[in-house]
Amino acid sequence: MSELDYVSRIPRRIEYDDGVRRAFTPALIQGCVGWWSASLGVTKDGSNNISAVADQVGGHNAAEGTGANQQLWVASASNGMPAARGNADGARALLMTGAALSGSGTIVFAFTKSTRASTYMLRGASDQSSSIIENFSGNALEWFNNNGVDRATFSSNPAAGAHVVSVVQTDGSSCVGRYDGTQVFSITPTAAITSPTIIGNLSTLTNGSNGDWMQLAVFNRALQLPELNRYQKYLGFLYGIAVAG
């Protein structure tokens, strides 16, 4: 079942100013400049190796042309929904042209934890820019930005299974992180949030995640809490995650 088929069965819908009631997707939130899902727009070979995942909003498609570095598409993962899976070699990734952010922005990522040491779940243009990392500090899941000057913990020891993390930055004032819907940090950023450009990490660095990712969305503004809660609850419904809020 595709994601859109699945969410069309959700009884709660949203009414917009034009009076049309539509099933929710993050693309309907103002400022969504990139949305990638393991259940939409996936190009894969007969062995389910992923060569591309289409951006459902802005044309920033994620791709990997080398077979040995491609993630594996899994038809039924968290809550029976599709996922893209890394590998024990840490060399599986998807690279994209970054969706432009405007100084403030929001990143929302649904995934399962990696069991490899010192892994990148999500990376910016360099390994020192906006990234979501795991197992660098014990078992911690962390936000990392500006050469580590901006660094904060989502969870010191994430439980097994699927999770949703989000980072919301208001330009020049605050950067707030949430883990499964609960705010877990608020820091004053020293550099602007940047768009992720790699799901995993470069194959040559071999420290990408071996976990699953299900969905990633990028917004070019700081989402208001009701908007963010709506999206995180949607992800919780899809992937069987207990999301607060």
Give the CA angle between residues 170, 110, 31 to the nearest 5°: 40
What integer pLDDT is reported at residue 22 of this predicted model? 65
**What is the spatial distance between Cα 203 and Cα 124, in angstroms, rounded to a whole number?**
14
What integer pLDDT is reported at residue 9 of this predicted model? 47
What integer pLDDT is reported at residue 97 of this predicted model? 80
**What is the spatial distance between Cα 225 and Cα 116, in angstroms, rounded to a whole number?**
33
Q: What is the DSSP string of 42-82?
A: EEE-TT-BEEEE--SSSS--EE---GGGPPEEESS-GGG--
38-66: burial string, b at 16+ Cβ within 10 Å, e else: bbbbbebeeebbbbbbbbbbbebbbbbee
Domain 3-239: give its CATH code: 2.60.120.200
List alpha helices for the chain, DSSP H: 3-7, 225-239
Q: What is the pLDDT of residues 28-52, one digit of tens each?
A: 999 999 999 999 999 999 999 999 9
Walking along the chain (245 residues) 10 residues at a time, the average pLDDT comes out as: 53 50 83 95 97 93 94 96 94 86 90 92 84 94 92 94 93 90 94 89 87 96 94 94 91
The count of other CB atoms within 10 Å of the CB of residue 225 is 13
CA distances from 223 to 28, 54, 63, 212, 220 (A): 13, 23, 27, 25, 9
54, two tokens? 């289409």
Cβ proximity of 75 and 120 under 8 Å: no
What integer pLDDT is reported at residue 10 of this predicted model? 45
Q: What is the pLDDT of residues 152-163, one digit of tens each?
A: 999 999 998 999
- Give which of 243, 242, 196, 245 is closest to 224, Cα–Cα: 245
What integer pLDDT is reported at residue 139 of this predicted model? 94
Query: Which amino acid would we find at residue 128?
Result: Q
The domain locations on the chain are 3-239
